[in-house]
Amino acid sequence: MDIVSNPGINSENIEAVVEKLKNAIGDKWVSKDPAVLAAYSRDFTISPGNWPNVVVLPGSTEDVQKIIKIANENVIPVVPMSSGFNHGGMCIPRRGGIMVDLLKRMDKVIDVDEESMTITIQSGVRNAVTYAEVNRRFAEDSGRKLTACLPLTMGSASTLANYVARGGGATLLRHGNTPESIVNMTWVLPDGEVLKTGPSAIPNVGVIPQPFGLGPDIAGMLINASGIFGMCTEMTIKIFPEPKIEELMVFDLEDPEDNAFENVIEFVYRVCREDICEMVYKAHGGTMANASPDPEVNREDLAESMGEHILLAVVAGDSEEEIVCKAERVEKIAIECGLYKVLLEMFAEAFGGVEKLGFARGMRTRIGTELGRVMGGKGSFQWMACCPKLEKIPAIARDYDQLLEKYWKPTDPNYPRKRTMAGTAIQGPFQFGRMGTLEYDFWWDPGNVENVKRATQMIKKGVELDLKHGAPLWRNMYDHGETHLPMLGSYFDLLKKTKKEFDPNNLMHPDIIPCTDDYI
């Protein structure tokens, strides 16, 4: 007897679902036009695509409730999607079904509370909008503008989605990772029930910048779960005072061949322990060349001309005197670690001048970065990341260099590895250098079959490398969970039981995480 894995995916049922959705949400917000379905079938990475059977655009939490109830009535899978800047197959409908676009209509800033220093947003509010809304307001009596802990990604990406997916915060060093700034959330669960987390769920409390109330905190289970427990429609996050003055400092190594990674890590650790930098970012192997906004620039040439170990440090404060003191201390530590200061004008020339560089604020907000700039190197951009202790990074980075030499770089001996614009990047250590975020970046041509094969192999090898060094994977993308989650023992067993309890028909984004008995 054949096993039917998608009992609700048949022509008659899909037609019935489409009509029910149109009646519930509105005719113009539901489509099964092949051109529309194709647009929602893939992301820009090597992850294989798959078409949904219908796309729907809700306008409210109540609309999402209606959609999920219809999915349950018709036993049809339902998958959430937000900004379109999705990565590693995280929003691809593996079994088809209903694709729920939470971006296009659910784009309202609900409230900005300067007193509690929070902003409440719907799922479709983009990073650029979040930043603009809070940055025109001030921390009480301080004269400092407010800012959010935004992920290091595009201004066009959803703030809420990045928080839920554990996006890498550009302010890790100062405020921690993005989920640490979540105060309240509104979720629609797999049965259509609405769950509110955080203290605002208690009547008459209002918005306070505290993420939990009495009893166990269930919110953590929903983070980085890729929608298997429901869909997040609203979120309240903390916002913070922005420094009045910021200054970018650029460093490179005097002797890049001698203990280079160790020297860099020593510098990062020391400035973090002394708490004198707002942000630290280290790029290796020419990866930063792709950030050039100049379309006339040959990024491969630029990568080859750049230092092997470019390191950026941002100092911030409320007065010029504070900036000078911090900058002097940072430079002294750099010299003691074998680094030298690069003239900002020389570094910025490749990026169209100092005024266009904008790394000090730009590396935290990225609101001016267009998706096309990131894709400009080869046509598509690949990243994956892990969270090791700082002392493990040199060994991991060296091993990754070997992977690039063996599986990524052309065999032409005259082709320098830096021209591949591939390498590692320390995207931001956590407070006081307790650990770091190590990212692997490489750009590839989606029209080149061999390039795609190499990219696939590099992801597999990268995961194996991380786990070999005891570096936890950053999030469940590119099916990382298949390798990582079963290693967690009773935690993994509890995850499977929880999924079964919450979603007995396995309709919420099935197969994105290997936590059901029928996962293959």
Asked, for residue 5, whether it belongs to a domain, the answer is no
Asked, for residue 427, whether it belongs to a domain, the answer is yes
Same domain, 271 and 387: yes
Q: Identify the domain boundary among 190, 224, 241.
A: 241
Asked, for residue 391, whether it belongs to a domain, the answer is yes
Tokens for 319, please give them: 């007065």
Beta strands per DSSP E along 353-512: 380-386, 423-426, 438-444
The sign of the dihedral angle between the CA atoms of 90, 93, 95, 97 is: positive
Per-residue tens of pLDDT for the chain, all 520 residues: 344 467 788 889 999 999 999 999 999 999 999 999 999 998 878 888 899 999 999 999 999 999 999 999 999 999 999 886 667 888 999 999 999 999 999 999 999 999 899 999 999 999 889 999 999 888 877 778 898 888 777 788 899 999 998 877 777 778 888 888 999 999 999 999 999 999 888 888 888 888 877 788 889 899 999 999 999 999 999 999 988 888 989 999 877 777 899 999 999 999 999 999 988 988 887 777 776 766 777 888 888 888 888 898 999 998 999 999 999 999 999 999 999 998 877 776 666 555 545 544 544 544 444 444 555 666 777 788 899 999 999 999 999 999 999 999 999 988 888 888 888 988 878 888 888 889 998 888 888 899 889 989 999 999 999 999 999 988 888 888 888 899 999 999 999 999 999 999 999 999 899 999 888 8
Same domain, 347 and 449: yes
Same domain, 94 and 168: no
Q: Give, for 461, the enclosing helix (H) or strand (E).
A: helix 449-468
| Phi/psi-derived region of residue 206, left when phi > 0, alpha when psi is between -120 and 50, beta in every other case | left
Q: Which domain holds residue 47?
A: 11-104
Same domain, 215 and 275: no
- Residue among 467, 384, 469 nearest 427 (CA): 384
CA dihedral of residues 519, 228, 179, 139 (deg, nearest 10) = 160
Asked, for residue 435, whether it belongs to a domain, the answer is yes
Same domain, 256 and 389: yes
d(CA 469, CA 388) in angstroms, rounded, equals: 8
Same domain, 80 and 118: no
pLDDT at residue number 353: 56
- Residue among 187, 238, 231, 173 nearest 211 (CA): 238
Half-sphere exposure of 332 (CA within 13 A, CB side): 8
Same domain, 23 and 124: no
pLDDT at residue number 1: 34
Asked, for residue 206, whether it belongs to a domain, the answer is yes
Tokens for 332, please give them: 């002294």
Same domain, 95 and 136: no
Same domain, 488 and 382: no
DSSP-derived 3-state class of residue 213: coil
Name the burial class of residue 437, with classes exposed (0-12), middle (13-18) and buried (19+) by CB atoms within 10 angstroms of its CB: buried
Q: How many CB atoms lie within 10 A of CB 460?
A: 13
Beta strands across the sheet bearing 98-101: 30-31, 54-56, 98-101, 78-81
d(CA 69, CA 73) in angstroms, rounded, equals: 6
Q: Model's pTM, two decimal places?
A: 0.91
pLDDT at residue number 371: 45
Any idea what the CATH number is for the domain that residue 162 is in? 3.30.465.10
pLDDT at residue number 354: 53
Same domain, 116 and 95: no
Asked, for residue 4, whether it belongs to a domain, the answer is no
pLDDT at residue number 367: 46
What is the residue-wise DSSP string for 294-330? -TTS-HHHHHHHS-TEEEEEEEEESSHHHHHHHHHHH
Any idea what the CATH number is for the domain that residue 47 is in? 3.30.43.10
Asked, for residue 37, whether it belongs to a domain, the answer is yes
Any idea what the CATH number is for the domain that residue 362 is in? 3.40.462.10
Q: Identify the domain boundary among 216, 241, 266.
A: 241
d(CA 455, CA 444) in angstroms, rounded, equals: 7
DSSP β-ladder status, 98-101 and 78-81: parallel
Same domain, 44 and 99: yes
Same domain, 431 and 291: yes
pLDDT at residue number 3: 45
Total residues found in the chain within this entry: 520
Number of domains in the chain: 4
Asked, for residue 2, whether it belongs to a domain, the answer is no
